[in-house]
Each structure stands twice: as C-alpha cells, then as structure tokens.
Structure 1
C-alpha cells in the first residue's frame, strides 16, 4: 500500500465528498495503482479530466503512483481524448470538427437529446437504452456519451463523454453548448426530433391531407421526415425554441422549420 496526496480543482470537486472539496487530502492506493484508477476510485470520471500533474509534472492516466506522490487534477470544461489504454491523447473535444460532434444520450436525458436534435446535432437516444447499449454505441460509432451517471463514464471503452451537471433540459443544453463550443456548428431544425434523421422541404400540396385545418390556413412552408412521415412547420413552439437558440449564440434561420409536427398517417394524434 502506498499513500499519495490529491487535489481536485474547479468543478471536479463536485464529485468529491464535501470534506474533500477545495483542499489537499491523502489517500491510500493499492500498489501499482495508476492515476486513472485512483482518480476514478475517488469519484471523478476520467472523461471530466483535462490535465493531471504528478509532483508538478504533466502525467498520463497510465502512470503508476508511488508513495508520497502529489497528484493535482484539473478540468476546464474542455476534454482531452482518452486512449483505450488510459493514455492521454492530443485531441480536445471542443477542438474536434463540429461535424464529428455526434452524441449518444443515456436513458435519463431524453429532453436534452431532443433539444440537441432541434439544434441539428446527431444524437441517439432511447429510453430503453441500458448502459451497455450506450457504451457500445459510443465505441462503435465514435459518439460522445452524455450522462449524469459517473459510473458509466468510468468505463474504459468510453473514449469521450460529458457528465451533465444541470437538471433542466434547457440548462443542460446551455451547459453542453458552452462546454463544447457547439453554437457555431448548429443547424437548427434540420433533423427530425423523433427519428434523428435529416428533414427535407416539401410542397404544401403534397402534405395537405396531413395538416390540421388551422395549419393549412396559416402556413405555406413545410419539411418532412421520410422515415416517420412527420411534417414540420413554424408553429406555436417555434419562437420559444428560436429564443433558446438565440440565447446560446445561434440564429434560428435555416432551411427547416419547427418543433410543431404532425404524426404519420398511421397515427391519429397531433403532437406539437
């Protein structure tokens, strides 16, 4: 058994017991423990860490800790890529090309997933996803995991992940936009909110029989999802969503329309 001292900075301290926040503390480590193992054993997922200093020198996650080591752990809301063997790679998530910013949200973040789709970001979500499903999708499809489950983010197979601190979906979206600088890559109203697939513009005449009478009278511009056949337009929810995007630094003008939609002909209910 060896003993090392640790200090976690910035929002990383939120993962610690209250008595360990904002201070240096000692912890016993099993022999041959790596920095990654101990950081996560103390409660902090590796995906939240930007930089680790051991005795003042920058360290990878695979360093074996020795007796008397001092470990300082930092985060700046900008993630490093963590290699499959725990080493720190060169790519910060917020510097990754925005077209590569694809997400998978766990079963508890459906509201955030829907808002990300609204902003045009490819986001997989199903409220039946188990943790294994999320991890597999992240690994096989190069997706960033979104979750409030720190244990999920500790899995070695998960290369990229973001622990979501906020509870309210609009605040979660604001948190993620700030963390990964997403505003510049947003394509509002370009994806189906239900299927996560691209929408396309359609003539009003081709969807006329699928529109409520009030919509027929007031709107002329429509888009549709070829998978579920929902139709979108600038309905009553548009201004609310446009205001949310504007607050995040993204104009809502684009080729596609709205959160208001009509279900496919097989479904009779209207869902705004």
Structure 2
C-alpha cells in the first residue's frame, strides 16, 4: 500500500488480533486509497464480527468508508449484550467447540454443532441458510462474507467460553429442555414408555425420565447430575433464567 496514511487504534479486547507493534495506542497505517475501512481493519487481523463502532476523527462511520489521508480511526469492540436482528437467537458451532455446544444445549440454548470438519465454506453457508450466529475460534471462518452473523470465542477453556457467549448475547436460558446430544427438544417420559431403552441398573434405580423428541435419547438424574446442576446453577445465578426440570 502506498496511499493515504491514517492513524488507527484498537479497543483492548481487539488487540490480541493485531501484531504486537499495533497493540499500544495509535499507530500509522498506509492504505491504498481505494479499500474500505472494513477491509483495512480485517487486513490488520481483526474480524469485523468483533469490531463495534468505527470512529473517524471521533465520528461514527460505516465499514464502507474509504479512509482519507490523516484520519484518526478508532476501532471499538462489539457492545455487550450484542443484539442480533432478524431470526430468533440461534447458534452454530464449529468442530472444535463440542463442549461449549453441549453446555449451551444444557441451558436450553439452540446450538447446532458440526462434529465433522465440513469446511469453512459449508459452515458459512449453513449459518446463512439457518440464520445462526457462527461461533468459532477460526478467524478466517469469521471473515467469510457468506456468514449471517458470527462471533469469536475468546478462550479455549469451556467455563470461560460459556461465560463469554452468555455475556455477549444474553440468550434466554431454559435449562433441561434441550438434548445435549442432538439439540432436539426434551419432553417428560413415562418410565414404561422408555423401559426397553434402559439398562437394568438404571431401571431399578431411577423413576423420573425425559426423552428427546428428535433422537429419542433418554435422560435421568444419574451420577453426573450434580456436575451438570453446578453448571446450570452458576449460569442462572450470573445471567438469569428459569431453573426448569
């Protein structure tokens, strides 16, 4: 690039995306004079899914703005909680976020998950077709133009990932209403109706069951229930919702 030089700075949360020499305050960037500000921001490493307001000399501009010489640009982070227009809030998670997908489903959040690596183009297309927010730690995927909406998952730890998504999007929580295996809705199940799908020990020990209306998986409050209950209780305490069973 050998066009106009601008000064650009990034909000603290966004600095992990840019090179180390651009993380401390405002730095100079030489543009080509024709590329949009959105393109410039992404070329420096920040997916536009993570950029909030773009300010030029203190005034908000669209990502389509073409920078001019001497402009001072500030890239803010996305405002939280982030509103998503259009369809009811639903998510799509890539192959690396299986634990996060199961925890979102545990809380009753609609979270589709691809357990196989179907590739970025297919994921982006699916996001658009089903109007789902793409959750990923893949910056390249989040830069794909086909995406309906997307968000970077900032941590590699499931507890922090869940907190990040709940804080950012504030989805409605309805625990114990969604299948953690396939994302289908759960319904109360009579023991006699599911008896043939139970192991002998389970049949003798438990009397309260739920079943997935999609994959027919059967659920009960087994030995792992206390750990799941802790995840649910922590989420409800911090982000609200109804503790349904």
TM score, norm. by length of structure 2 = 0.91
Give runs of aligned pairs for residues 1-272 of structure 1, distance below 5 A: 1-78=3-80, 92-93=83-84, 100-128=88-116, 129-182=118-171, 185-248=172-235, 249=237, 250=240, 253-255=243-245
- Measure the CA separation in 1 of the matches of 2:167 and 2:158: 14
Structure 2: unaligned runs, 5 residues or longer: none
After TM superposition, the runs of 4+ consecutive aligned structure 1 residues lying more than 6 A away are none
**What is the number of residues matched between the two proteins?**
239
Alpha-carbon spacing, 1:252–1:233, altered in 2? closer, same or farther (3 Å): farther
Q: Is the CA contact 1:224–1:231 (under 8 Å) kept in the aligned structure 2? A: yes
**Cα RMSD (Å):** 1.9
The one of the two structures with greater contact order (alpha-carbon pairs below 8 A, sep at least 6) is: 2
Deviations 1:219-267 (A, max 9, x none): 2111112332210011122211111122122567323xxxxxxxxxxxx
Deviations 1:163-191 (A, max 9, x none): 00111222211111111123xx1111211
Q: Is the CA contact 2:6–2:71 (under 8 Å) kept in the aligned structure 1? A: yes
Structure 1: unaligned runs, 5 residues or longer: 81-91, 256-272
Shift of 1:202: 1.2
- Measure the CA separation in 1 of the matches of 2:65 and 2:92: 30
Shift of 1:10: 2.3
